[in-house]
Amino acid sequence: MLWETISVVRDLPRLHEIASVMIRYGWGDLVRVLGISGALERAGRVLHWQNTSEMSQLEAPVRIRRALEELGPTFVKLGQVLATRVDMFPPHWIAEFEKLHSQVPAVPYDILHPYLVDALKGEPSEIFGEFDAVPLAAASIAQVHRATLKDGTPVVVKIRRPGIEAVIRSDLRIMEHAARLLESEMPDSRRYDPVHIVSQFRRSLSRELDLAKEARNIDQFARHFADDPLVKIPRVYWEFTNDRVNVQEQMIGMVGVVPDKLRERGLDPKLLATRGADTVLRMVLEHGYFHADPHPGNVLFLPGNRIGLIDFGMVGMLTHARRNQIVDLLHALSYKDEQALLQVLLDWSGESVGDEDRLAYDVTELLQSYDDLQLKDVKMGALLNDITALMRDNNLLLPADLILLFKTLISLEGLGQQLDPEFHMIDHVTPFVERVIHQRYTPQALLKRGRKSVREALEVVANLPRDLQHLLRDVRRGRVKIDLDLKRLDHFGHQLDRASNRLTMGLLTASLVVGSSIIMTVEGGPKLFGLPLFGLLGFLIAFINSLWIIFSIWRSGKH
């Protein structure tokens, strides 16, 4: 608590700035709910609740996007992360978040120079034959300059903006505090898990701040594609690279997806679309390590119809189990297999599915909407968007490692269609999926899985005495807890009560039949139609009881 108080005091100027921007863009109610206004007023910082009628005329997605832009790099990055959360926000919100960009005024070279000298441990002139003081590009985290090494090799030098770490750390502290308050004061927000989103954002931003991490990503991709002459990954010059500076080979190629200009350079747009799709699908389904931002600016078209990739700050990783789920999903989509698709969604959702029957119905309805389409006419991007909409409607969230994947596949299909209007992503997905599924059932793969299963089973047996010992120790110490799910206990009790009633009536009916049979053999007493009256009454009551039991069972649908 003391540390949080000190942090809040340290961040008061920034907190005041954030609150002022939010109020100006019509988010004053959120400022009040989070208690920001009270904290600032107690600190002697008065907020001006000026008229926001002009801003209130704008739609909510536009207002939040403009507020994020004004709040600077950290919040712009947050908006870009939210743009990937197609499982949380409807399309018009995503479209607005996607308008956020990181292009900001460059840091003048006279300010950047001492920072660069400290990062390089020497003057740039001692390392580079030439260094262009005018940046090639400037973003919120870093800016890029052209240079050449002493041997004349062209390189690009990516430099982290001076002082950006302190700004981001302050903003992250405020975001984390706000996320906790949001969950506490607005229970409806918990389904979006804002604390987890900020935590995920912190990790993402930390990776992006570390330029050496991007360099390691580049080396990883270079190893994966070392045997593929059609894919070019830049070389990293580690002797000049650290967390603040990244020096890598400059690749000369064509940027942009104008087919006519590509043809003028002797390139084949259709072939480039195919190779680009196959490259990313190989990353996803074979390596489990993929470039998560394949927009046109990060893809270069090189002579010989080769593909060059740059900017590896944002990458996605998939475990082997997750890759298998992706293959199952794509296979189910390709062949419109309802049960397989439902099973994958249930695996992703865990125990958070509120209404499994509704989810199953929505899956069936989704696939039926594609019944009249040929496989070649199915757009993978539209299909993935429909799946995320289905999950959003069922209050389900995509696992974090799949969010970037869906966004990547959608972006990749858009890029391919710009190169070739007849490009269909699903045509490229299907052969990869078939190949991976075939590899699952080769004798070698089956033997490997069999050995693994046997080894795991033996480990369970070997550990059983120890586990039982721990269980008995916990029982003696009173540490064992049993959680019962009693949601349907009332219904079960009702069913049990009805069953016991039927059983009782059945026993009574059987007793009446037996007793009436005995009475029918006894001489004397009142007669009806020449038969003992009480015996006939017993049979009649038993007959009525039997009809009641049969009708009760039929009405309950148990027949």
Phi, psi of 408 (to 5 degrees): -65, -45
Active-site residue, 293 included: yes
CB 38 within 8 A of CB 11: no
Segment 409-414 long-range contacts (CB within 8 Å, at least 24 positions apart) = 409/280, 409/284, 409/380, 409/381, 409/384, 410/86, 410/380, 410/381, 410/384, 410/385, 411/293, 411/294, 411/295, 412/276, 412/277, 412/280, 412/294, 413/379, 413/380, 413/381, 414/381
Alpha-carbon distance 406 to 386, whole Å?
11
CA distance 9 to 338: 55
Angle between helix axes 380-393 and 400-419 (nearest 10 degrees) is: 150
Cβ atoms of residues 248 and 218 within 8 Å: yes
CA distance 309 to 251: 9
Alpha helix locations (H) across 89-158? 91-97, 109-120, 124-127
- Here the tokens at position 517 are 């049979």
CA–CA separation, 251 vs 15, rounded Å? 42
DSSP 122: S
Run of H or E residues at 4:
helix 2-10
> What is the distance between the alpha carbons of residues 202 and 175, in angstroms, rounded to a whole number?
10
Length of the chain: 559
Q: How many Cα atoms occupy the beta-carbon half-sphere of 509 within 13 Å?
A: 16
Got the DSSP string for 361-428?
HHHHHHHHTTTTS-GGG--HHHHHHHHHHHHHHTT----HHHHHHHHHHHHHHHHHHHH-TT--HHHH
Q: How far apart are CA 506 and CA 546, in angstroms?
A: 8
Residue of 293, 311, 328, 362 marked catalytic = 293
* Separation between Cα atoms, residue 48 and residue 78, nearest integer Å: 26
Question: What's the rounded Cα separation, in Å, for the pair 221 and 511?
Answer: 82
Question: Which residues participate in catalysis according to the annotation?
Answer: 293
